[in-house]
C-alpha cells in the first residue's frame, strides 16, 4: 500500500502546520465534539500578501500604472498630474507611499490615486476589463523576483486551499484588491471559481444596446473591500460566518475577528513576511494585526520558518 500523500509538502514541520492540521481534523472528524457541518466550513483568504506577493507594490497597481503611463503617453497634459505623473516618470515612491499610508490610516492621497484608477478603465465593458487583466497577468514579469506574476502565488497557500477543499471546505477570496481583476485567474491559480471571489469593486451600470445590453464600468468607486468592509462583504456574499480566515495586514483584522464565534472552533492565520532571501521582509501595515494575533492566540505563519518552499517553480 502506498504511504498517504502529504497534502502540505511545502510546509515545514512546525507550529503553523500543526495548528492547521489539528484544526481541520477537529472540525471534520466524525464524532468530534467540534465537528462542523460541511456547508458551514467556509474559509476566507485575503489575496495580496496572503496568497500572492504584494511587494514592491500590489500586482494590480502595476497593471494600473502601465495603463496610466499609456494614457500619459497619448495625452501630454496628463504628465504633470498625479497619478499619471508618477506612472509616466516611474515615481514608485509616491505610489508605494499611498498604500503604506493607507495601512497606517492616512488616506489623504487615496482620492488622487482613486480618481486615476476610476478614469483608467471608465466606460469599458466588464468583459473587456477582464480580458485586459487576464492578458497582463499572463504576460507581465514581477519587477524583483524574476518570475511571471502567475508564478507569484505562494505554493504553501495553494496547498492549503487544496487541503481544505479536500476536507469539505468552501474557499473564498476576500481581498482588498479588485474583484474583477482577480477573477480571470482565480480558478487556475487557486482552484477558486470566479463566483467565490470577493473584492473591491468599481460602480457598474447596465447599458441597453441593440444586442440586448451590457454591463460597463463607471468612473465611480463602489466598495473598497478592506477593514470593516470585509466582514460585511463576506456576509453579503456568503451568508455565513467563516470558520477559517487568513490575512497579513491590519485591513484583515475585522475579517479575522469575524471568523469564529463563541462556542465554535475557528482558525485565524496571519502570514508574516520575514524572509528577505526568498520573498520580502516587512511588517509595515501589519502592526495591529500582529498585536492581536499574539493577544488572541491566533496562528502566525512565518514565511522564513514555516514554508519549506515559497514559490512553485514548475509554474514559472
* Residue ranges binding a second copy (CB under 8 A): 39, 126, 179-180, 183, 193-195, 197, 201, 204-206, 208, 211-213, 215, 228-232, 235-240, 254, 257-258, 260-262
CB of 192 to a second copy, least distance (A): 11
CB of 229 to a second copy, least distance (A): 8
Cβ within 8 Å of residue 151, ≥6 positions away: 142, 311, 312, 313, 315, 316
Residue placing its CB nearer to a second copy in the complex, 129 or 154:
129
Residue placing its CB nearer to a second copy in the complex, 84 or 258:
258
Residue among 102, 80, 240, 282 at smallest CA distance from 177: 102
CA atoms of 311 and 309, how far apart (whole Å): 6
200 beta partners: 178
CA atoms of 293 and 58, how far apart (whole Å): 24
Residue placing its CB nearer to a second copy in the complex, 76 or 262:
262
Neighbours of 152 (CB within 10 A): 23
Residue placing its CB nearer to a second copy in the complex, 84 or 136:
136
H or E, element range at 202? strand 197-207
CB of 230 to a second copy, least distance (A): 8
Residue placing its CB nearer to a second copy in the complex, 3 or 211:
211
CB of 70 to a second copy, least distance (A): 26
Neighbours of 131 (CB within 10 A): 13
CB of 126 to a second copy, least distance (A): 6
Residue among 100, 52, 62 at smallest CA distance from 273: 52
Residue placing its CB nearer to a second copy in the complex, 215 or 284:
215
CB of 77 to a second copy, least distance (A): 33
CA atoms of 89 and 58, how far apart (whole Å): 18
Residue placing its CB nearer to a second copy in the complex, 67 or 179:
179
Termini Cα distance of the chain: 34
Strands 214-223 and 197-207, by their bridges, are antiparallel
CB of 298 to a second copy, least distance (A): 11
**Which residue has 451590457 as its cell numbers?**
214
Q: Which three cell numbers stand for residue 223?
A: 466598495
Q: For residues 209 and 220, is the Cβ–Cβ distance under 8 A?
A: no
Amino acid at each position: 500500500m502506498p504511504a498517504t500523500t502529504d497534502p502540505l509538502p511545502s510546509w515545514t514541520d512546525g507550529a503553523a502546520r500543526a495548528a492547521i492540521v489539528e484544526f481541520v481534523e477537529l472540525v471534520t472528524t466524525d464524532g468530534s465534539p467540534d465537528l462542523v457541518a460541511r456547508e458551514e466550513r467556509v474559509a476566507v483568504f485575503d489575496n495580496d500578501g496572503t496568497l500572492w506577493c504584494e511587494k514592491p507594490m500590489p500586482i494590480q497597481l502595476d497593471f494600473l500604472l502601465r495603463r496610466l503611463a499609456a494614457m500619459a503617453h497619448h495625452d501630454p497634459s496628463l504628465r504633470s498630474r498625479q497619478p499619471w505623473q508618477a506612472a509616466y516618470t516611474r515615481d514608485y515612491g509616491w505610489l508605494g507611499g499611498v498604500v503604506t499610508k493607507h495601512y497606517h490610516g492616512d488616506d489623504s492621497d487615496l482620492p488622487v490615486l482613486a480618481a486615476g484608477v476610476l478614469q483608467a478603465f471608465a466606460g469599458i465593458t466588464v468583459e473587456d476589463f477582464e480580458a485586459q487583466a487576464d492578458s497582463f497577468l499572463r504576460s507581465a514579469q514581477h519587477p524583483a523576483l524574476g518570475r511571471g506574476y502567475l508564478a507569484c502565488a505562494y505554493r504553501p497557500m495553494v496547498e492549503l486551499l487544496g487541503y481544505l477543499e479536500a476536507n469539505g471546505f468552501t474557499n473564498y477570496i476576500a481581498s482588498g484588491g479588485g474583484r474583477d481583476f482577480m477573477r480571470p485567474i482565480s480558478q487556475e491559480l487557486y482552484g477558486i471559481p470566479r463566483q467565490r471571489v470577493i473584492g473591491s469593486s468599481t460602480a457598474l451600470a447596465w447599458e441597453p444596446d441593440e444586442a440586448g445590453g451590457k454591463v460597463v464600468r463607471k468612473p465611480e468607486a463602489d466598495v473598497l473591500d478592506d477593514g470593516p468592509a470585509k466582514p460585511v462583504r463576506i456576509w453579503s456574499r456568503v451568508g455565513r460566518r467563516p470558520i477559517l480566515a487568513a490575512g497579513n495586514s491590519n485591513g484583515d483584522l475585522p475579517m479575522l475577528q469575524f471568523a469564529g464565534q463563541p462556542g465554535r472552533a475557528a482558525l485565524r492565520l496571519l502570514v508574516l513576511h520575514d524572509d528577505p532571501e526568498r520573498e520580502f521582509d516587512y511588517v509595515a501595515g501589519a502592526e495591529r494585526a500582529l498585536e492581536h494575533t499574539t493577544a488572541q492566540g491566533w496562528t502566525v505563519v512565518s514565511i522564513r520558518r514555516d514554508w519549506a518552499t515559497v514559490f512553485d517553480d514548475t509554474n514559472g
